[in-house]
Chains A and B, each alone.
Chain A
Amino acid sequence: MLMKKVAARIVLAAAAAGVAGAAWAEDGPIKVGFVGGLTGACAALVEDELNAVRMGVDELNAAGGILGRQVELVVRDSQTKPDEGAKQSRELIVGEDIDLLTGVCSSSVMLAMTAVSKELKVPFYSAIGSTQKANVEAYQPYFWQVQANATMEAVAAAEYVAKKPEWRRIVPMGFDYEWGHSSVDAFTTHLKKLRPEIEITDPIFPKVGEANMAPYITAALAKQPDAIFAAVFGGGLASLIKQGQGYGMFERSNLVTLLTVDALQSMGDAMPKERVFGVARAPFFAIEDSEDARAFIAHYRSKYGEYPTDWSINGYDGLMFYAAAAEAAGSVEPDALMKAVHEITFDGLRGNALKVRAFDGQMNAPSYVGEVSFEDGYDFAIMKNVEVYAGEALMWPEETIQAARDAAK
């Protein structure tokens, strides 16, 4: 039994080494491995990303592919579980010879997959998952991030709040796990730096996915805040907004929270008319100045019958960025490709001059903060007066990241 296991390990290791050492196929299709949480907590988000990636692959192929080679999409379900995500990634790399790994959503799956990418030296980017750990403690040279990571978003929220002088007392709130805590920390630290006189109370941490937010709302409002910053999402966010109305939250205070297009859509009419401020990753209504973005939105709507969400737009930008890097490198061989990833400047749906930093794989992607508002022509609330924060201003400088890496050792 033991011998069998050992033998199996040797075979696996040999297979892995074979892949890592093998010359990269220079002909045949370029294979994009999409390991996403098609089931589990991430399903709705991943479906939106996958829709856009499928569309992008079709467009690339219609235009002759990447480097004259057709692009083939191979999709696997990680079930939003770290071990399953790692296993599926390994199988695609060893069995399907994929050239690129993507599709990840949940932070924990992302950390498991970046470890596989590092070990087997396959380029890997994220367009939904956003934990900063992948840029800092768990950074590896084959990873890049095409959207603002969680910390950058919290910093953007702090920048926005700082510009509201009438807000003097803030209650931070976050889901009780890594993302919620690090968002609250980044928000609090940055806001204190911008406005030392502002009062930030002790944070409130509901458990992840909490359906009954009433006790947390009461506890938050008891502190009489001018605004509540909430790093919550999904069902917890819907509960916070719906239940908050019964406690006069939007008469007595303001709410600053993450509001991607899918969240705005699922809230529908239940969204308060005012006093909600959203932080978003890539809201379609804020990028419509660009002709490319307008064309993408129209195409997406005609194909899928709905507006693209932040996840669709980032997913599409992510794929097109990879295509541009591969064209620049003249190859999809991992080391050559990564060199191009760190060198090229990319014009995407979210704006021009997008670049990926070499020391943490972070793209200077923008964050969007605006006021929730009901506008004609939409059957859900969108945002008006959207401020766009350029990624450079939100990213941690190299020294800070180095210090965090040293501290984590």
Chain B
Amino acid sequence: MILVQLVNGLMEGMMLFLIASGLTLIFGVSRIINFAHGSLYMLGAFLTWQLVPLLAPGTVAGFFGAVLLSAVLVAVIGTIFEMLILRRIYGADTLMQLIITIALVFILRDAVRTIWGPNSLSVPMPDAMMGALVIGDNFFPIFPFVIFGAGLVVVLAMILVIHFTRAGILLRAATDDRGMASLLGVNEKLVFTLVFAAGCFLAGLAGGMAAPYGDVNYLLDTTVIVSAFIVCVIGGLGNLYGALAGAMVVGVTKAMGVMFFPRLAMVLIFLIMAAVLVARSLGRQAGPAR
């Protein structure tokens, strides 16, 4: 049972990472705290619900096709938002940025409610991904494994892009020192837009992939954004590998907490978060989250 619970924790960690990675990526480059990240996740889930029956319902290909397409649509919507509005306020103070992204939270929530209504929707799980691997007395559900695998693919793709492509170099340069990168002739505008689009893509992807595992409703946005922020705080906002570590720590701590200290499971996570914050302020000030 401990093994099952450990696996549960890693699965949840991977899901959390997919959500948090986009948030942290955007912050790393543009220093924008995108409160609407959870809303984009929600949008991805709703679009997946809409697209699955249109493609090939019940099949694995149909499901992932719908998820990818949803993520692309979310990225397009995000890009439009970035180019029309966000681009104008990069220099503005944090409060201004918060208000703008929170406005987007409300706009997307009301739009989703108007289009799909307030009732919860359910995305069917592909037939091949239902059921479980039974090893001895332990059940390992297949769906989370597939999601975990898909998450690993995303992580690898991100590492490859960041370390081995020109876009990755530009991204690292902009994260490291925005001013210097700009002085050296990096097209800052383009980098910001691309990074924002990539972050939105990840949010949409996570929303779509998680959709069959729970229900899809227009309140997902706020549910998700809180966990994403916890992960980012533990890992250091702007630090991708930190987010990966933070997500795994949160996932495993929660699962083990539920098993061994059921009344403390949630408290444990916040204790870790508090400890990290204290430790970071005691240690070097110039961490990745400046």
Interface residues of A (CB under 8 A from B): 39-41, 43-44, 47, 202, 204-207, 209, 211-212, 214-216, 218-219, 221-222, 234-235, 238-239, 242-243, 245-248, 262-263, 265-270
Residues of B93-118 contacting chain A, CB below 8 A: 113, 117-118
Q: In the complex, are the beta carbons of A215 and B258 less than 8 A apart?
A: yes
Residues of A near B121 (CB, < 8 A) are 266
Q: Which residue of B lies closest to A245 (CB)?
A: B130
Q: In the complex, are the beta carbons of B262 and A202 less than 8 A apart?
A: yes
Residues of B near A44 (CB, < 8 A) are 117-120, 217
Q: In the complex, are the beta carbons of A246 and B1 less than 8 A apart?
A: no
- Alpha-carbon separation in the docked complex, A40 to B263 (Å): 28
Residues of B near A267 (CB, < 8 A) are 122
- Is B255 an interface position by the 8 A CB rule? yes
Residues of B near A41 (CB, < 8 A) are 219
Interface string of B120-163 (1 = CB under 8 A from A): 11101100001110100001011110000000000000000000
- Alpha-carbon separation in the docked complex, A245 to B218 (Å): 24
- Given known A-B contacts A41-B219, A215-B5, A215-B255, A268 and B262 have beta carbons under 8 A apart: no
- Is B176 an interface position by the 8 A CB rule? no
Residues of B near A216 (CB, < 8 A) are 258
- Is B8 an interface position by the 8 A CB rule? yes
Residues of A near B258 (CB, < 8 A) are 204, 206, 215-216, 218-219
- Alpha-carbon separation in the docked complex, A41 to B118 (Å): 9
- Alpha-carbon separation in the docked complex, A43 to B132 (Å): 35
- Given known A-B contacts A205-B262, A234-B217, A242-B214, A270 and B122 have beta carbons under 8 A apart: yes
Partner of A247, one of B119, B122, B139, B259: B139
Q: In the complex, are the beta carbons of B12 and A212 less than 8 A apart?
A: yes
> A-B contact count, CB below 8 Å?
121
Partner of A218, one of B5, B131, B215: B5
Residues of B near A204 (CB, < 8 A) are 258, 262
Q: Which residue of B lies closest to A211 (CB)?
A: B214
Partner of A239, one of B9, B113, B213, B263: B213
Q: In the complex, are the beta carbons of A222 and B122 less than 8 A apart?
A: no
Partner of A262, one of B1, B119, B210, B218: B119
Report A40 CB to chain B, min CB distance, Å: 8
Q: Which residue of A lies closest to B143 (CB)?
A: A246
Report B203 CB to chain A, min CB distance, Å: 15
Residues of B near A215 (CB, < 8 A) are 5, 8-9, 12, 254-255, 258-259, 265
- Alpha-carbon separation in the docked complex, A47 to B118 (Å): 8
Partner of B215, one of A234, A245, A247: A234
- Is B249 an interface position by the 8 A CB rule? no
Q: In the complex, are the beta carbons of A235 and B141 less than 8 A apart?
A: no
Q: In the complex, are the beta carbons of B1 and A270 less than 8 A apart?
A: no
- Is B281 an interface position by the 8 A CB rule? no
Residues of B near A263 (CB, < 8 A) are 120
Residues of B near A218 (CB, < 8 A) are 1, 4-5, 8, 255, 258-259
Interface string of B1-34 (1 = CB under 8 A from A): 1001100110110010000000000000000000
- Is B165 an interface position by the 8 A CB rule? no
Report A84 CB to chain B, min CB distance, Å: 15
Residues of B near A214 (CB, < 8 A) are 8, 11-12, 141, 144, 255
Q: In the complex, are the beta carbons of A247 and B223 less than 8 A apart?
A: no
Q: Which residue of A lies closest to B12 (CB)?
A: A212
Partner of A234, one of B120, B141, B265: B120
Residues of B near A209 (CB, < 8 A) are 219, 223
Q: In the complex, are the beta carbons of B215 and A235 less than 8 A apart?
A: yes
- Alpha-carbon separation in the docked complex, A239 to B266 (Å): 18
- Given known A-B contacts A204-B262, A270-B124, A243 and B213 have beta carbons under 8 A apart: yes
Report B198 CB to chain A, min CB distance, Å: 24
Residues of B204-256 contacting chain A, CB below 8 A: 210, 212-215, 217-220, 223-224, 254-255
Beyond the given A218-B259, A248-B139, please list 11 additional residue pairs across the A-B interface where CB-CB is below 8 A: A211-B214, A214-B144, A215-B12, A222-B1, A234-B215, A235-B220, A235-B223, A246-B130, A246-B132, A246-B144, A266-B215
Q: Which residue of B lies closest to A213 (CB)?
A: B214
Partner of A246, one of B141, B224, B259: B141
- Alpha-carbon separation in the docked complex, A218 to B215 (Å): 20
- Given known A-B contacts A234-B120, A268-B124, A239 and B132 have beta carbons under 8 A apart: no
- Alpha-carbon separation in the docked complex, A39 to B219 (Å): 10
Residues of A near B214 (CB, < 8 A) are 211-212, 235, 238-239, 242-243
Q: In the complex, are the beta carbons of B120 and A266 less than 8 A apart?
A: yes
Q: In the complex, are the beta carbons of A242 and B212 less than 8 A apart?
A: yes
- Alpha-carbon separation in the docked complex, A218 to B144 (Å): 14
- Alpha-carbon separation in the docked complex, A238 to B124 (Å): 12
Report A176 CB to chain B, min CB distance, Å: 8
Report A344 CB to chain B, min CB distance, Å: 34
- Alpha-carbon separation in the docked complex, A239 to B134 (Å): 21
- Given known A-B contacts A209-B223, A215-B5, A215-B12, A43 and B255 have beta carbons under 8 A apart: no
Q: Which residue of A lies closest to B11 (CB)?
A: A214
Residues of B near A270 (CB, < 8 A) are 122, 124-125
Residues of B near A247 (CB, < 8 A) are 4, 132, 139, 141
